[in-house]
Amino acid sequence: MNSHAAHSPTDKRKAALLSLYTNLLLMLLKVAVGVLSGSVSVLSEAAHSASDLVASGIAVFSVRIADLPPDELHPYGHGKAESLAALAQALLLLGAATLIIYEAIARLLQHAGPQRVELGMAIMAVSALANIGVVRYMLRVAGQTQSQALAADAENHRVDIYTAAGVLLGLLLVRLTGYSFFDPLLAIAVALLIMNTTWRLMHEALATLMDTHLPAEDVEMVRQVLHDDPSVLGYHKLRTRIAGSVRHVDAHVLMDDELSLAQAHDLTEQVEDRIREALPNTEVTLHTEPYHAEQRHQSEDH
């Protein structure tokens, strides 16, 4: 009574590899420019890209694991590997943000300012533009495949756009005013933005790992299918969750006592199919019970 909706593991892997290579290239460029320019905000972005690089590596690995079919040891599949990857990415971002704040405060206390500001501005512009393209592609693939790991990685790149723009602004202010403190101050602002994203990613990953129910609109869709089906006289014990890109729905449905076992089975299969049509890529397990017998059983229990 279960079914896997089709999705494209190849697209997921391509998107994860694109993220990995982009982060590698940007990290190397930012390290070189940060050292040459002496800009703590550029170096903070290099640290950010380094954490993103590790996160992208985790994403590449996790989407491969998550797409493995169920086996004897993992009968529900490997989908939660993506949630674990998203949690690891969030922790890496938190570490990078902490390092950025530490380095920025040290620069403020030392009154150290950047040199060759134009070089730093150029790499930040390149970083922002490159990440815009990567984010668009990754969000499209993440939406098509319901990949939590790719969605988390795409959010990392989205943060990169904002942080690169912030660093670019800080360097521009240094260039226009001559006040070097703008550089570390913008680096701290970058770190705080990263921490905000980190909290959201951790919350989403932990919600999945703790088997939080599906979004309200998805649950309502399931309820509507059960309510509208004439063969379903009632239902209870409706439970939902998600593992990776696969939703899981199970419930007890009440049907006419006079139905034969074969008839009840066929009708239950049809209800499951309708739920899967409403919510693609969903594993559905319905337990069928005779309506009047269940009503008597519940009355006796109370």
Select 216-301's CATH number: 3.30.750.200, 3.30.70.1350, 3.40.50.1820, 3.50.50.60: 3.30.70.1350
Domain 9-209 carries which CATH code? 1.20.1510.10
SS3 content of the chain, % helix, strand, coil (to 5): 70, 10, 20
Residue 1 binned pLDDT confidence (cut-offs 50, 70, 90): very low
Residue 113 binned pLDDT confidence (cut-offs 50, 70, 90): low
Asked which of 9-23, 40-54, 232-246 is least confident by mean pLDDT, the reply is 40-54
Q: Phi, psi at residue 258, to the nearest 5°?
A: -80, -10
Give 169-209 pLDDT, tens digit per residue. Answer: 888 888 888 787 887 887 788 788 888 878 888 888 898 88
Q: How far apart are CA 90 and CA 117, in angstroms?
A: 31
The predicted pLDDT at position 6 comes to 44
Task: State which amino acid sits at residue 63.
Answer: V
- Sketch the domain layout of the chain as residue ranges: 9-209, 216-301
The widest CA-to-CA distance across the chain, in whole angstroms, is: 86
Q: What's the mean pLDDT when you consider all of the chain?
A: 84
Give 31-81 pLDDT, tens digit per residue. Answer: 888 888 777 777 777 877 787 787 778 877 887 888 788 888 888 888 888
Give 254-294 pLDDT, tens digit per residue. Answer: 999 999 999 999 999 999 999 999 998 899 999 999 988 77
Starting at the earlier edge strand, list the strands of the sheet with 282-290: 234-243, 246-255, 282-290
* Identical fold between 9-209 and 216-301: no
The yes-or-no verdict on residue 24 having pLDDT over 80 is: yes
- This prediction's pTM: 0.67
The yes-or-no verdict on residue 300 having pLDDT over 70 is: no
The predicted pLDDT at position 219 comes to 96
The yes-or-no verdict on residue 3 having pLDDT over 60 is: no
Q: How far apart are CA 254 and CA 296, in angstroms?
A: 12
